[in-house]
């Protein structure tokens, strides 16, 4: 099987899904996670469609990546405008990104009914735009939009579009099932024709899941000779979503013999999938192939010892290969190794016994609703507490929050905290725009004098999720806070039946971790943040 390039579209196409939103800093964390996984190309979006994208490209320009190249995404030139004079193309040309992906029409229906240009002008729009960016030193990919629907209507024209891109110097043409309605046999037939007509053209595949076949269509395309696969993490995207890159990676590598990722990178698959869900404040799908919590869970009554003795009888792959685990027995083993490694990274001395205690503690907390994938700060504090090298910032006597709504519609919030630092008592009251903000201000007022680094710590994100899965105890609230001190970014978590109590716990972890990191010499940079 030829080398297959992995192309991630989470940050552009994936954001088209309902309720999907990430800040520039969060997107940067996703890019690093994908780079650590070993993805080859990452589509970051259009360089300056809005201030957020502008900020993201600014951040990306200063970063170094191991495997990933950053791709800027845009459109072919507008009709009847010279490529040099097209604003969008100029922005792409000026972007630092070495690779540009242009979306262009390849279906006569869209050319005539949507863009309303002649078929010839559409071909010129494709070739002029690509030639212009190639002259500017860019490597260019064409996303041939609606390719398979266009091919069904007029195979000759769809091929002309791909050929025009190739002639203009495109590195690759990506065949897109934009409406997501194709089935594997259609993909197979169209691809055979394309390969025959344009045997030297490097191809990619971009599918959507409207027929439930996005992954299957991608695999069929690889069989048919495509050498780049596009998708999004966990299949997020418009409507029913894009092809799920997580599933595709595992299928290609473990079932189709493609050498995509080194084993230690493939073992990050589960962690990466959950990390992106956590950042998006989405509950990871427990039934997701390969990486879901239940992907390797065995039916009750099946003896765990039997499974570990002959796991191939019940499991299609060894779950550890993708960083997942089957059940308690195996999870404890893989869990201990992970914890020893995390402790080493945090500079905490550990041994088997320590790792076992942390595993037990994490299991207990997960049962209560904790999830540490996006709460690396809280996880490191947990390890510190377990190892005995933990210093609390303060000792809590009590806190209280008052929220008052008045007749004029105004809501006032006030928090009072009562804490001890060494043998000094601090009682502070502060107002805020909400309970967490008021508690944060009161707490900073009390300890900011002693710990000036606290002023650099900013809470950048606050996410709340109601968990109804917790057994027997009714709904509990999980709060995730992302914080930054300008150099590093970390996550913290709190879980409680009470929203404000959960927020308080996450807030305290967030500040304590920030202070710990401020003192330790090994402080992780934004590059490695969020990896717990």
Q: State how far the Cα of 101 lies from the Cα of 92, in Å rounded to an integer.
A: 9
Full strand arrangement of the beta sheet holding 424-432: 395-405, 411-421, 424-432
For Zn ion (CB under 5 A), the number of binding residues is 1
Distance from C-alpha of 212 to C-alpha of 203, rounded to nearest angstrom: 22
Q: How many CB atoms lie within 10 A of CB 117?
A: 17
Rank residues 280 and 358 by Cβ distance to Zn ion and give the closer one.
280
Q: How is the beta sheet containing 489-496 ordered, strand by strand?
A: 458-467, 476-484, 489-496
> Does position 26 bind Zn ion by CB under 5 A?
no
Shortest distance in whole angstroms from residue 399 CB to Zn ion: 48
Smallest gap, in angstroms, from Cβ of residue 211 to Zn ion? 14
The minimum distance between CB 108 and Zn ion, in angstroms, equals 20
- The one-character DSSP state at 319 is G
Return the number of the residue (240 or 334) whose C-beta is nearest Zn ion: 240
Radius of gyration from C-alpha coordinates of the chain: 26
Q: Nearest approach, Cβ of 12 to Zn ion (angstroms)?
A: 9
Q: How far is the CB of 235 from Zn ion (least distance, A)?
A: 12
Q: By CB under 5 A, what part of segment 38-67 binds Zn ion?
A: none
Shortest reach from residue 236's CB to Zn ion, in Å: 11
- Report in angstroms how near the CB of residue 43 gets to Zn ion at its nearest: 10
Stretch that binds Zn ion, among 13-21, 94-102, 313-321, 454-462 (CB under 5 A): 13-21
Q: Which of 379, 369, 366, 358 is nearest to 513 (CA)?
A: 379
Q: CA 514, CA 458: separation in Å to the nearest integer?
A: 10
Instruction: Decide whether 13 or 509 has the Cβ nearer to Zn ion.
Output: 13
Collect all residues with Cβ–Cβ distance below 8 Å to 526 and sequence separation of at least 6. 25, 28, 29, 32, 484, 487, 488, 489
- Of 35 and 209, which has the nearer Cβ to Zn ion? 209
CB nearer to Zn ion: give 13 or 86: 13
Closer of 151 and 490 to Zn ion (Cβ): 151
Our CB check for Zn ion shows the closer of 13 and 277 to be: 13
- Of residues 108 and 204, the one with the C-beta less far from Zn ion: 204
Cα–Cα distance, 477 to 499 (Å, whole number): 6
Nearest approach, Cβ of residue 125 and Zn ion (Å): 19
The residue nearest Zn ion at its CB is 13
Q: List C-alpha distances in Å: 179 to 7, 215, 232.
A: 19, 14, 16
Q: Which is nearer to Zn ion, 43 or 386 (CB)?
A: 43
**Contacts of Zn ion in 296-315 (CB under 5 A):** none
Nearest to 6 by CA among 266, 190, 264: 266
Among the residue ranges 12-20, 110-118, 120-128, 422-430, the one whose residues contact Zn ion (CB under 5 A) = 12-20
Q: Considering the rule CB under 5 A, would residue 149 count as an interface residue with Zn ion?
A: no
- Minimum CB–partner distance for residue 13 and Zn ion (Å): 4
Nearer to Zn ion, 178 or 437 (CB): 178
List 7's β-bridge partners, or say none.
41, 230
Query: CB of 112 within 8 A of CB of 152?
Result: no
CB 99 within 8 A of CB 71: yes
Q: How far is the CB of 151 from Zn ion (least distance, A)?
A: 17
**Looking at 11-19, 32-40, 270-278, 446-454, which segment touches Zn ion (CB under 5 A)?**
11-19
Q: Which stretch binds Zn ion (CB under 5 A): 5-13, 43-51, 196-204, 278-286?
A: 5-13
Q: Which stretch binds Zn ion (CB under 5 A): 7-15, 185-193, 315-323, 497-505?
A: 7-15
- The smaller minimum CB distance to Zn ion, of residues 144 and 457, is found at 144
Find how far residue 472's CA is from the centre of its chain.
Answer: 32
- Asked if 13 interacts with Zn ion (CB under 5 A), we say yes
Q: Give the interface segment with Zn ion, choosing from 6-14, 384-392, 404-412, 513-521 (CB under 5 A).
A: 6-14
- The β-bridge partners of 414 are 402, 431
- Surface-to-core class of residue 25, CB atoms within 10 Å of its CB (0-12 exposed, 13-18 middle, 19+ buried): middle
> How far apart are alpha carbons 239 and 275 in whole angstroms?
22
Shortest spacing between CB 62 and Zn ion, in angstroms: 29
Q: What is the 3-state secondary structure (H, E, C) of 139-197?
A: EEEEEEECHHHHHHHCHHHHHHHHHHHHHCCCCEEEEEECCCCCCHHHHHHHHHHHHHH
By the criterion CB under 5 A, which residues form the site for Zn ion? 13
């Amino acid at each position: 099987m030829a080398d297959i390039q992995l192309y991630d579209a989470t940050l552009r196409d994936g954001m088209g899904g309902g309720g999907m939103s990430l800040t520039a800093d969060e997107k940067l964390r996703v890019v690093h996670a994908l780079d650590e996984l070993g993805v080859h190309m990452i589509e970051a979006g259009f360089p300056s469609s809005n201030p957020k994208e502008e900020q993201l490209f600014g951040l990306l320009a200063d970063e170094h990546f191991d495997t990933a190249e950053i791709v800027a995404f845009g459109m072919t030139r507008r009709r009847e405008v010279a490529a040099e004079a097209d604003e969008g193309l100029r922005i792409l040309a000026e972007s630092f990104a070495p690779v540009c992906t242009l979306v262009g029409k390849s279906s006569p229906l869209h050319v005539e009914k949507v863009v309303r240009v002649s078929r010839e002008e559409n071909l010129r729009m494709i070739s002029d735009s690509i030639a212009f960016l190639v002259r500017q030193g860019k490597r260019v990919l064409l996303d041939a939009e609606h390719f398979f629907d266009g091919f069904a209507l007029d195979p000759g024209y769809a091929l002309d579009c791909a050929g025009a891109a190739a002639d203009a110097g495109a590195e690759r043409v990506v065949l897109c099932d934009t409406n997501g309605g194709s089935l594997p046999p259609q993909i197979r037939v169209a691809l055979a024709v394309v390969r025959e007509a344009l045997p030297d053209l490097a191809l990619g595949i971009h599918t959507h899941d409207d027929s439930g076949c996005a992954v299957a269509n991608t695999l069929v395309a690889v069989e048919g000779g495509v050498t780049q696969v596009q998708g999004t993490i966990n299949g997020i995207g418009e409507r029913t979503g894009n092809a799920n890159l997580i599933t595709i990676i595992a299928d290609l590598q473990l079932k189709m013999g493609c050498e995509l990722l080194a084993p230690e990178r493939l073992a990050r698959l589960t962690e990466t999938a959950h990390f992106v869900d956590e950042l998006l404040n989405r509950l990871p799908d427990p039934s997701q192939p390969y990486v879901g919590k239940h992907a390797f869970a065995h039916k009750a009554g099946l003896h765990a010892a039997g499974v570990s003795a002959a796991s191939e009888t019940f499991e299609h792959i060894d779950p550890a290969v993708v960083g997942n685990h089957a059940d308690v027995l195996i999870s404890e083993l893989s869990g201990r190794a992970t914890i020893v490694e995390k402790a080493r990274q945090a500079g905490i001395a550990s041994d088997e016994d320590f790792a076992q205690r942390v595993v037990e503690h994490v299991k207990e907390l997960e049962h209560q609703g904790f999830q540490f994938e996006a709460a690396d700060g809280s996880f490191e504090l947990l390890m510190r507490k377990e190892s005995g090298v933990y210093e609390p910032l303060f000792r809590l006597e009590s806190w209280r929050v008052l929220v008052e709504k008045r007749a004029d519609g105004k809501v006032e919030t006030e928090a009072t905290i009562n804490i001890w630092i060494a043998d000094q008592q601090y009682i502070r009251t502060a107002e805020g725009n909400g309970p967490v903000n008021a508690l944060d201000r009161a707490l900073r007022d009390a300890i900011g004098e002693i710990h000036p680094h606290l002023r650099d710590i900013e809470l950048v994100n606050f996410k709340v999720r109601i968990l109804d899965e917790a057994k027997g105890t009714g709904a509990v609230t999980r709060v995730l806070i992302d914080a930054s001190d300008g150099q590093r970014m970390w996550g913290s978590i709190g879980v409680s039946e009470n929203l404000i109590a959960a927020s308080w716990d996450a807030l305290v972890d967030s500040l304590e971790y920030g202070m710990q990191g401020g003192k330790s010499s090994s402080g992780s940079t934004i590059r490695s943040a969020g990896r717990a």
